[in-house]
C-alpha cells in the first residue's frame, strides 16, 4: 500500500460519523470519506419525535454540537479533516478492486471511490406493511429529518385532528406521545395482542392503561385491512374491528436493517437480518466493516443474534469499527437487549430476556414483580415504579428486567444491565452497595427489594401469580380464594372483584376463614404485606398460598 | 435446646428491626425481642435533615409504613409478633450463660434476657470534639429523632439567625442545606483543607463553590479553638481564622461505631473501629451477630476494612444477620465504599477509591474527568454533570468514581458500583449497553464517554492534568503554554487567566504559534475539543501536550 490509508464510510447519521471521528483521532494521516445519500449528516435520529412535538424547537438543534456548531460537511472538513459527500448514494461495492461505486443523487453522475477499508453504516428502513392505500397522501413513515419536517408541518398546520399510528413498537409509542402533546386524538393500532412486545403482557397492559389515561385509543389485536382516502389523501383506516377516522397516518410496524448494498456485494447476512460481523465489527470480507443498525447484533444475555436499532449501540459499534479500520484493535462484546422510552410521564425500559422470551428458549426461570416508591415515601416527589425481574432457575443468574412507572425506572434498568453483563446472580444484585440517600432511593432500593423477592421465590419461601394469569383464572371461574390483606379503607377505595378482606394484622387470628383445600391468592398494595401473610399461613401449615406478583399497584385490569 | 429459639436484638432503628423482620419471616416459631434504649424505633434516621428543614413535615412520617401505619411496639407485636422493649438499655452481655443484661431507662430496674442468638445493632455515636464550650446551650449533635426535634424547634422558632456547622462531612453538608433552606446564614467550619474528604480535592472544590453560590460561608483548613457563649448559650465560634457569630451550633465532625457493649463482652473490634464480623455477620462469638453502623465493614473494591455508616448497608446486613441467626445461611460480600448526598440542587456521589486513596495505598492509577450534559443538549431540562473515574493501571479495572452536578449523577454512580463489584475493566464499562433514549441520556452516555477518555489515557493517546494541579503550576509560575481551543465568544465569557485562544478549527493552521519545547495544556468547555487538538498536534509530532481534565466546566478556581 502506498500513500495514506483510505477509509470510506457509507452512511452519515450515527455509526458512520462516529467511526470517522475515531479513525481520525487515531490516524492523523488517513484519508477519510463519508458517503451519505441524504442531504443532512450526523443528526440525532432518536430526537425526531421530540422535534415533531415541538419540544425540540429547531431542526438545527438535532444536528449541532452542544455549543451550537452545525455538524455539516464544512464542519467535518475544517475541524476533523473528514470529507463528506452527501447527496451521494453508494450503489455497489467492487470487492476485487476495493472500490465503492457511488452516484450523485442530483446529477446522476456515477464515480468510483477506492478504499483500503470500507465501513458500512447504512442504517435501517421502515418495514412497509402490505396494506392497500399505504401510498395515499398523509400516510407517512419516519426515517429521516425530512420525514419529521413533513410530519411536524401536518401536525401543526395541516388540520389533522385524528391521527392513526399503525404499529405499537418503540417508534409508534414515542410518536403517540408526541402527537398527543400537539393536541390531536391518537389511535394506536397493533396487530399483536399487546403493544411493546419487548415487555411481558402484564407489563405492557400497564403501559396501555397509562396511555388510555392520556386519552389515547389503544387497539391491540387489531388488523389493518386497508387505508381509505378522499382526493388522494387519507381519510380513515379500516380494521377488522371497525373504521378509524384519520387525516394523518404513521406507518411504524417496524424497521429492518438496510443491507441491500452488502447483500449484492456477497457479504453474509444473519438470522436477524443484519450484516454478519465478528467482534471487531468485520464483515465476511475482512476489509469491510459494518456498524450500527445495518449490522447484526449479538445479545450476550440471550446468547443469540438480535435486532435492536439504537443510536447508543450504533455509536459504540462505530467507534470499534473506526478503531479497527486504522489498526487499533478493539472488540465489541455485544448488546444486552436493552430498550427504553418515555410514555407520557412514565418511564419504560427493559433488558435481557422477558419471561416470554425465556420460555420460548426453553430456559427454566423464576420471576418477581415489585411495586414500590422510587424514593422513601416521606420524601417529597417520590413516585412509584414497577419492576419485573427474571432469573434463570439453575444458576440464579439475573437474565431479564422490565420496568414501568412515573418513578426513576431507568436507573434500575441500567444497574440490572450492568449486573447481567457481569453474569451476576440475584444474590449478587441484592447485595449491591448502591448509592443511598433519601433524595435518591429507599434504604433498600426497589431493585434490591425486587432481587430479594426473587431470592425468596427461588428459595421456595413464596410463590406468585402474575396479574394476567390471575385474571385468566378468575375469568375461567377457577375455584380460588382471593384474599386482600390491606386495610378496610384501601379495600373500599378499590379492590379486585371477589376478594375477601382480612387485614394483615388479623390474618393470624382469623385464619380459620382461609381455606386449606383450595388455591389461595393473597394481595395488598405492593405484595409486601401479602408476603408476610404467606409466611404467617405457612407457619400454620398452609401449603396452598401464593401472592399476586406486584400487588394491586401492578393490577392493570 | 428446648422450646422455640430465642433471638434477642439490641438496637431498634435500622439493622435491628430488619434482622427481626427477616428472622420472623423465616421462622414462624422463634421468640424475637428487640431492645432499644430510646423511645422510638424503626425510624428513618437518614431523613432527619429533611425533617429538620421542614421538607418532611411530620415526625410521624419518618416512622410510618408507606401506607401510614406507625411502626411502634404495638405494630411490631400485632403484625410481626416481635416484642419491642423500648426505653431499655442493654448494659452487659453474659456470653457464658447466654444472657443479656438490660436496664429500664425510666425505673432503673435491671433484668436479664436469655438468648440463643444475639444480634448487636447498636449503631454509631457522634464524635465529640475536644473543644471548650461544647456543652453550652444550643450546641447540638444529631443522632436521633429527639435531637432533630430540638434542632428544628430552634431553627424555626429560636431566633438563631447565624448557624455554625462544625465538620464538613456527609451530615454537615446535608444539614447545611437544611438550615440554609430555613433562611439562616450558615458557616461550615472544616479543619481539613476540603469538605467531603470522600472526594478528591478538585471535586470537593466544585462542591464548595456550589455551596458558596447558595450563600454558605465555607471555611476549610479552619480549626475551632473554642465555642463561646452568653448566659450559658452559644454566641460565637472562635477559630484560628477569626470569630463566627452563631446562636446555634451543630457538632458533626464524624461518628464512630457504638461498640462499648461488645468490647466489654470481649468481642473483637476492628481497625476501622467496628465490631469484627465474618461474611455471615457473626462476631468473634458465633452466637452473637452484629449488623449496621456498629459492625466493621469490608470494602471489596479497596480490599480493606472501612467505616461507612449508611442505612442501606445496615438494612442489608440486618437481613443477613437475621437469616443466619435462624439457620438460613446467607453471606454478605461487603461494601463498595459508596456514599451520596444532595447539596442544594447538586447531586454528589462516590464509590470505590478516590485517586487520593489509591495513591495512599500505593496503587498505580490513571484517572479521567468528564464534563458533559446528562441528556442530549437539545432535550429540554438537560443538566451538566462532572464525573471522575479512577482505573488501576495494571489491570485497567475501574476502581473508583466520583460525580457532582445538577444532572443525574447518581444513576452513573450506581452503574459504576455494579461494574466495580463485578471487577469490570474500563473497556467493559465503555461497552455497557445502557438504556438510551433522549429523555434519559446521550447516545454515548457520559459514563461511557468518561470510560472512553480513560481508555484513551491508558492507551497513551492523551495525558491530562487536574484543575488543582494546573492551578498549583500556574501559581508556581511554571513556564507552560495554556491553550484555549473554544470559540472567541466562549473565551470572552470567561477563561483561565493567561490562556491563549486558538479555536479548534484553527489549531492545525496556526500550530506554529504553539511551542514544542514547553509544557502545553489545552482546554475547552469539556475537554472534548481539547482532546481533538491534542490528536492534531500529536499528528504533527508534538509530544508535550496534555488536556485539562474535565475542561473549563470543571474549573472551580
pLDDT in tens, chain B (557 residues): 468 999 999 999 999 999 999 999 999 899 999 999 999 988 888 999 999 999 999 888 998 887 788 899 999 998 899 999 999 999 999 999 999 999 999 999 999 999 999 999 999 999 999 999 999 999 999 988 999 999 999 999 989 999 999 999 999 999 999 999 999 999 999 999 999 999 999 999 999 999 999 999 999 999 999 999 999 999 999 999 999 999 999 999 999 999 999 999 999 999 999 999 999 999 999 999 999 999 999 999 999 998 889 999 999 999 999 999 999 999 999 999 999 999 999 999 999 999 999 999 999 999 999 999 999 999 999 999 999 999 999 999 999 999 999 999 999 999 999 999 999 999 999 999 999 999 999 999 999 999 999 999 999 999 999 999 999 999 999 999 999 999 999 999 999 999 999 999 999 999 999 999 999 999 999 989 999 999 999 999 999 999 999 999 999 88
| The three grid cell numbers given for residue A262, joined into one nine-digit string | 452488502
Quickly state the pLDDT bin for A481 (edges 50, 70, 90).
Answer: very high
Q: Are A223 and A239 in contact (CB under 8 A)?
A: yes
pLDDT at A2: 65
The size of chain A, in residues, is 557
Residues 445-464 of A with CB under 8 A from B: 445, 448, 452, 459, 461
Mean pLDDT for chain A? 95
Task: Answer yes or no: A306 catalytic.
Answer: no
Which strand (E) or helix (H) includes residue A124?
strand A124-126
Q: Which of A46, A160, A299, A306 is catalytic?
A: A46
CB atoms B78 and A435 under 8 Å = no
Which strand (E) or helix (H) includes residue B78?
helix B73-80
Q: Are A99 and A8 in contact (CB under 8 A)?
A: no
Which strand (E) or helix (H) includes residue A234?
strand A233-239
Q: Work out the minimum CA distance from B78 to partner chain A, whole angstroms.
A: 6
Q: Are B62 and B71 in contact (CB under 8 A)?
A: no
pLDDT at A43: 86
Q: Work out the minimum CA distance from B122 to partner chain A, whole angstroms.
A: 18
Q: What is the CA radius of gyration of chain A?
A: 26
CB atoms B535 and A504 under 8 Å = no
Percent of chain A with pLDDT over 70: 100
CB atoms A448 and B415 under 8 Å = no
Residues 488-547 of B with CB under 8 A from A: 490, 504-505, 508, 525-526, 531-532, 535-536, 538-540
Judging contacts by C-beta atoms under 8 Å, the chain B residues touching residue A172 are none
**DSSP for A196-215, written as a single string:** -TTS-HHHHHHHHHHHHHTT
| The three grid cell numbers given for residue B69, joined into one nine-digit string | 401505619
Distances (CA, A) of A446 to A197, A199, A276, B3: 24, 19, 39, 37
| Residue A37 pLDDT greater than 80, yes or no | yes
Q: Work out the minimum CA distance from A92 to partner chain B, whole angstroms.
A: 30
User: Chain A within 8 Å of B81 (Cβ-Cβ)?
Assistant: yes
Distances (CA, A) of A23 to A15, A18, A123, B346: 12, 9, 19, 36
Q: Are A120 and A261 in contact (CB under 8 A)?
A: yes
d(CA B415, CA B420): 9
CB atoms A436 and B46 under 8 Å = yes
Superfamily of domain A346-458 in CATH is FAD/NAD-linked reductase, C-terminal dimerisation domain (3.30.390.30)
d(CA A467, CA A525): 13
Give the domain ranges of chain A: 6-124+256-325, 139-253, 346-458, 464-554
Angle B192-B195-B201 from CA coordinates, rounded to 5°: 85
Alpha carbon distance, N-terminus to C-terminus of chain B: 67
CB environment B194-208: b (16+ within 10 A), e (fewer): bbbbbbbbbbbbbbb
Residue of A428, A435, A492, A509 best to disrupt the B interface, most CBs of B under 10 A: A435
Q: What is the pLDDT of residues A5-20, one digit of tens each?
A: 999 999 999 999 999 9
CB atoms B437 and A536 under 8 Å = no
pLDDT at B279: 97
CB atoms B435 and A508 under 8 Å = no
CB pairs under 8 A between A and B: 264
Q: Work out the minimum CA distance from B96 to partner chain A, whole angstroms.
A: 32
Q: What is the pLDDT of residues A224-239, one digit of tens each?
A: 999 999 999 999 999 9
Residues 310-329 of A with CB under 8 A from B: 310-316, 319, 328
Q: Which of B340, B319, B348, B140 is nearest to A434 (CA)?
A: B340
Greatest CA separation for chain A: 90
The residues of B annotated with a catalytic role in the active site are: 46
Give the torsion through C-alpha atoms of B408, B413, B419, B423, to 10 deg. 160
- In this complex, the residue of A314, A328, A378 whose CB is nearest that of residue B47 is A378
CATH topology of domain A139-253: FAD/NAD(P)-binding domain (3.50.50)
CB atoms A340 and B436 under 8 Å = yes
CA dihedral over A104, A106, A108, A109, signed as positive or negative:
negative
d(CA B351, CA B387): 12
In A316-439, beta strands by DSSP E = 339-343, 346-352, 365-373, 384-392, 398-405
- In this complex, the residue of B316, B415, B539 whose CB is nearest that of residue A28 is B539
CB atoms B411 and A414 under 8 Å = yes
Judging contacts by C-beta atoms under 8 Å, the chain A residues touching residue B312 are 433-434, 436, 441, 443-445
Residues 89-148 of A with CB under 8 A from B: none
In A379-473, beta strands by DSSP E = 384-392, 398-405, 464-465
* Burial (CB count <10 Å: 0-12, 13-18, 19+), residue A541: exposed
| The three grid cell numbers given for residue B526, joined into one nine-digit string | 469539556
- In this complex, the residue of B334, B341, B525 whose CB is nearest that of residue A437 is B341
**Which CATH number applies to B464-554?**
3.40.250.10
- In this complex, the residue of A316, A376, A441 whose CB is nearest that of residue B47 is A376
Strand, helix or coil at B129? coil
Task: Provide the angle, in degrees to the nearest 10, between the axes of the packed helices B15-26 and A528-539.
Answer: 50
- In this complex, the residue of B174, B410, B505 whose CB is nearest that of residue A440 is B410
**Which CATH number applies to B6-124+256-325?**
3.50.50.60
Q: Same topology for domains B6-124+256-325 and B139-253, yes or no?
A: yes
Reported pTM = 0.97
- In this complex, the residue of A315, A424, A435 whose CB is nearest that of residue B444 is A315
> What distance lies between CA A475 and its chain's CA centroid?
31
Beta strand B185-189 with B217-219 is parallel
CA dihedral over B72, B74, B78, B82, signed as positive or negative:
positive
Q: Are B257 and B273 in contact (CB under 8 A)?
A: yes
d(CA A122, CA A142): 16
Q: Which of A409, A429, A410, A406 is nearest to A419 (CA)?
A: A429
- In this complex, the residue of B55, B373, B430 whose CB is nearest that of residue A66 is B373
d(CA A93, CA B128): 76
In A263-345, beta strands by DSSP E = 288-290, 297-299, 304-306, 339-343
pLDDT at A358: 97
In 10 A of CB A265, how many CB atoms?
20
Q: Which of B526, B519, B523, B525 is nearest to B545 (CA)?
A: B519
pLDDT at A67: 79
Which strand (E) or helix (H) includes residue B16?
helix B15-26
d(CA A7, CA B167): 58
Name the residue with cell 464550650.
B133
CB atoms A443 and B311 under 8 Å = yes
pLDDT at B66: 79
Judging contacts by C-beta atoms under 8 Å, the chain B residues touching residue A79 are 504-505, 532
| Residue A1 pLDDT greater than 90, yes or no | no
User: Chain A within 8 Å of B435 (Cβ-Cβ)?
Assistant: yes
d(CA A191, CA A259): 26
Q: Region A525-536: what's the mean pLDDT?
A: 93
d(CA B76, CA B34): 10
CB environment A164-177: b (16+ within 10 A), e (fewer): bbbbbbbbbbbbbb
User: Chain B within 8 Å of A149 (Cβ-Cβ)?
Assistant: no
Beta strand A346-352 with A398-405 is antiparallel
User: Chain B within 8 Å of A41 (Cβ-Cβ)?
Assistant: no
The chain A residue lying nearest B417, using CA atoms, is A434
d(CA A183, CA A124): 30
DSSP B363: -
CATH topology of domain B345-458: Enolase-like; domain 1 (3.30.390)
In B167-223, beta strands by DSSP E = 185-189, 217-219
Q: Which of B126, B127, B120 is nearest to B90 (CA)?
A: B120
Q: What is the pLDDT of residues A427-467, one digit of tens each?
A: 999 999 999 999 999 999 999 999 999 999 999 999 999 99
The phi, psi pair for B344, rounded to 5°, reads 55, -125
User: Chain A within 8 Å of B19 (Cβ-Cβ)?
Assistant: no
The chain A residue lying nearest B448, using CA atoms, is A316
- In this complex, the residue of A67, A311, A332 whose CB is nearest that of residue B525 is A67
Amino acid at each position: 500500500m502506498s500513500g495514506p490509508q483510505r477509509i470510506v464510510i457509507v452512511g452519515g447519521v450515527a455509526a458512520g460519523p462516529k467511526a470517522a471521528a475515531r479513525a481520525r483521532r487515531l490516524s492523523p494521516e488517513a484519508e477519510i470519506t463519508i458517503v451519505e445519500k441524504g442531504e443532512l449528516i450526523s443528526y440525532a435520529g432518536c430526537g425526531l419525535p421530540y422535534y415533531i412535538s415541538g419540544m425540540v424547537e429547531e431542526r438545527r438543534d438535532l444536528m449541532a454540537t452542544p455549543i451550537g456548531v452545525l455538524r455539516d460537511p464544512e464542519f467535518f472538513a475544517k475541524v476533523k479533516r473528514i470529507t463528506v459527500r452527501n447527496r451521494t448514494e453508494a450503489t455497489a461495492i467492487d470487492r476485487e478492486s476495493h472500490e465503492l461505486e457511488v452516484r450523485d443523487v442530483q446529477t446522476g453522475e456515477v464515480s468510483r471511490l477506492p478504499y483500503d477499508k470500507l465501513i458500512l453504516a447504512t442504517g435501517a428502513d421502515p418495514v412497509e406493511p402490505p396494506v392497500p392505500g399505504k401510498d395515499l397522501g398523509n400516510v407517512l413513515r419516519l426515517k429521516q429529518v425530512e420525514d419529521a419536517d413533513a410530519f411536524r408541518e401536518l401536525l401543526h398546520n395541516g388540520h389533522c385532528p385524528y391521527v392513526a399510528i399503525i404499529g405499537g413498537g418503540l417508534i409508534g409509542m414515542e410518536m403517540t406521545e408526541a402527537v398527543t402533546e400537539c393536541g390531536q386524538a391518537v389511535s394506536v393500532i397493533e396487530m399483536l395482542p399487546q403493544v411493546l412486545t419487548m415487555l411481558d403482557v402484564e407489563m405492557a397492559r400497564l403501559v396501555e392503561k397509562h396511555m388510555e389515561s392520556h386519552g389515547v385509543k389503544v387497539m391491540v389485536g387489531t388488523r389493518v385491512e386497508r387505508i381509505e382516502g378522499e382526493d388522494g389523501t387519507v381519510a380513515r383506516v379500516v380494521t377488522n374491528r371497525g373504521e378509524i377516522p384519520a387525516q394523518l397516518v404513521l406507518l411504524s410496524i417496524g424497521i429492518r436493517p438496510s443491507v441491500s448494498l452488502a447483500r449484492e456485494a456477497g457479504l453474509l447476512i444473519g438470522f436477524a437480518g443484519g450484516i454478519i460481523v465478528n467482534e471487531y465489527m468485520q464483515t465476511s470480507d475482512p476489509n469491510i466493516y459494518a456498524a450500527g443498525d445495518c449490522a447484526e447484533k449479538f445479545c450476550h444475555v440471550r446468547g443469540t443474534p438480535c435486532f435492536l436499532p439504537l443510536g447508543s449501540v450504533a455509536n459504540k459499534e462505530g467507534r470499534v469499527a473506526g478503531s479497527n479500520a486504522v489498526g487499533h484493535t478493539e472488540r465489541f462484546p455485544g448488546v444486552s437487549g436493552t430498550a427504553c422510552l418515555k410514555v407520557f410521564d412514565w418511564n419504560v425500559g427493559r433488558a435481557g430476556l422477558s419471561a416470554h422470551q425465556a420460555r420460548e428458549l426453553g430456559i427454566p426461570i423464576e420471576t418477581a414483580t415489585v411495586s414500590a416508591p422510587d424514593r422513601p415515601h416521606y420524601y417529597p416527589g417520590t413516585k412509584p415504579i414497577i419492576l419485573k425481574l427474571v432469573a434463570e432457575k439453575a444458576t440464579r443468574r439475573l437474565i431479564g428486567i422490565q420496568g414501568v412507572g412515573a418513578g426513576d425506572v431507568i436507573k434500575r434498568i441500567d444497574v440490572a444491565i450492568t449486573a447481567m453483563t457481569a453474569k451476576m446472580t440475584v444474590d449478587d444484585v441484592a447485595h449491591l452497595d448502591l448509592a443511598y440517600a433519601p433524595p435518591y432511593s429507599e434504604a433498600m432500593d426497589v431493585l434490591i427489594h425486587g432481587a430479594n423477592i426473587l431470592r425468596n421465590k427461588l428459595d421456595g419461601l413464596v410463590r406468585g401469580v402474575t396479574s394476567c394469569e390471575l385474571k385468566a383464572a378468575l375469568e375461567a371461574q377457577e375455584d380460588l380464594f382471593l384474599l386482600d390483606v390491606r386495610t378496610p379503607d384501601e379495600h373500599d377505595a378499590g379492590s379486585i372483584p371477589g376478594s375477601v378482606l382480612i387485614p394483615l394484622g388479623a390474618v393470624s387470628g382469623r385464619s380459620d376463614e382461609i381455606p386449606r383445600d383450595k388455591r389461595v391468592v393473597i394481595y395488598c398494595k405492593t405484595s409486601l404485606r401479602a408476603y408476610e401473610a404467606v409466611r404467617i399461613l405457612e407457619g400454620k401449615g398452609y401449603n396452598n398460598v401464593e401472592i399476586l406478583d406486584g400487588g394491586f399497584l401492578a393490577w392493570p385490569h
